[in-house]
């Protein structure tokens, strides 16, 4: 987010798109934040894929440990 010092408006630079936040109503701020996330360069999606991979590994190991403990105990 960048602040335009000439007009004092907040600007979202999102993937060569500038979405200006309207400070008057909160709903447009939420909408601009959603636009900023959805147009964000690949960084945000990389974070989410890593989170999903780690969650899959964790739950797979957890389920395997539960099965192993049921067999052994």
pLDDT in tens, the chain (73 residues): 566 666 656 555 554 444 454 445 555 666 666 666 666 555 556 667 777 788 888 888 888 888 888 887 6
- Provide the token pair at 36: 């900023």
Identify the pLDDT of residue 60. 83
Q: What is the pLDDT of residue 16?
A: 44
- Per the rule left: phi > 0, alpha: psi between -120 and 50, beta: everything else, 15 is left
- Going by C-beta distance under 8 Å and a sequence separation of 6 or more, which residues neighbour residue 2? 10, 11, 12, 13
Phi, psi of 18 (to 5 degrees): -110, 115
């Amino acid at each position: 987010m960048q602040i335009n010092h000439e007009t004092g408006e907040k600007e979202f630079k999102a993937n060569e798109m500038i979405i200006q936040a309207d400070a008057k109503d909160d709903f447009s701020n939420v909408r601009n934040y959603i636009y900023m996330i959805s147009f964000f360069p690949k960084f945000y999606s990389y974070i989410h894929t890593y989170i999903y991979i780690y969650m899959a590994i964790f739950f797979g190991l957890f389920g395997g440990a539960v099965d192993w403990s049921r067999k052994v105990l």
